[in-house]
Structure 1
Amino acid sequence: MKVYYDLQTGNVIVITPESAGVVVETTKEQDFKLYKALDDKVPDSVGMIQLQHGAHMLDRAEGGMIARVDLETLEPLFDYPPKPDEEPQPPAISFTSQIAELAAENQRLREENNTNQLALMELHMMLLNLMPDAG
């Protein structure tokens, strides 16, 4: 799947369909001829990111549609259908990216916790060595 977007705004112009199996991939030049929405664009004003097969499946299963591309990170930003009691939200990073960030933060906190536990054990041992024997 390729996402073509405006380099000034990040707004999506065309998303090519995802394909599987043995497929001959089209070039950017071929896509500009193939897709009407790209046909009238100046190629230098259009960016493209290519997503791996199956990328962002969770987001699409939740009804997410790629609306824009973050021009700094080149990550797709998704629009999700609002829940009945919610107002529409601005495009957001994908659930896949959010999960990866949370997993990394969880790992960092786990390592920090281990370090803190070791430091507490060392302090405990130092205090035991300072205390006089009770017997």
Structure 2
Amino acid sequence: MKIGAKIYYEKATGNVILNTGERAGAVVETTREQDFTSFKVLSERVEETVGLIELEYGQYATEFLESRGRIRVNPETEELEFFYGPLDPVETPVYQKPLTEQLKDLTTELSSTQMALADNYEQLLSAQKEAVSAQLALTELYELVLPLTGGASK
């Protein structure tokens, strides 16, 4: 059996209290109540002030590796955020959405941009055809008017 990690955090701040980590093999899934009994760091807390995010096995594996496990939970969105910066940041760490979520957002944005570019390209081709038609019409008009004005033909 494979069991994903559980992330327990302070609801008010988003600070992670406990990351149970992933487990595989002869393991048994536990309930929130069992975890509060089993883990001292949880049993010392008021249960209502502690949030929980349960992950699928392997979920965000790349993000945990790249961030070296430096995570927090955004108190407003209740979603995991990762810090990918240096081990000893000079400034306050800036946590970000998981890389896989950022990639998904960028892919969606790129797709929208490509669709807009395709629309613009079609409009440009249409305008170019209209310009060519207008140029031909002007040339025909010029050739009709030129003899009437006594000018020489091309």
The TM-score with structure 1 as length reference comes to 0.83
**Could you report, residue by residue, the CA deviation over 1:42-77 in whole angstroms, capped at 9, with x for unpaired residues?**
111111111222122222222432431012222212
Residue 15 of structure 2 corresponds to residue 11 of structure 1: yes
**Does the 8 Å contact 1:79/1:91 carry over to 2?**
yes
**Does the 8 Å contact 1:69/1:76 carry over to 2?**
yes
Aligned with 1:87 (options 63, 87, 90): 90
The TM-score with structure 2 as length reference comes to 0.74
Residue 37 of structure 2 corresponds to residue 45 of structure 1: no
CA distance in 1, matches of 2:85, 2:118: 41
SS of residue matched to 1:53: coil
**What one-letter code is carried by the residue in structure 1 that aligns with 2:20?**
T
Spell out the pairing of 1:56-75 with structure 2 (5 A cutoff). 56-75=60-79
CA distance in 1, matches of 2:33, 2:135: 79
**What one-letter code is carried by the residue in structure 2 that aligns with 1:87?**
V
CA distance in 2, matches of 1:39, 1:45: 12
More helix by share: 2
Aligned with 2:35 (options 31, 42, 47): 31
Aligned Cα root-mean-square deviation (Å) = 2.4
The Cα of 1:8 is off from its aligned counterpart by 0.6
Aligned with 1:102 (options 85, 99, 106): 106
**What one-letter code is carried by the residue in structure 1 that aligns with 2:52?**
M
Partner in structure 1 of residue 144 of structure 2: none
Where structure 1 has 5 or more consecutive residues not aligned to the other structure, the ranges are none
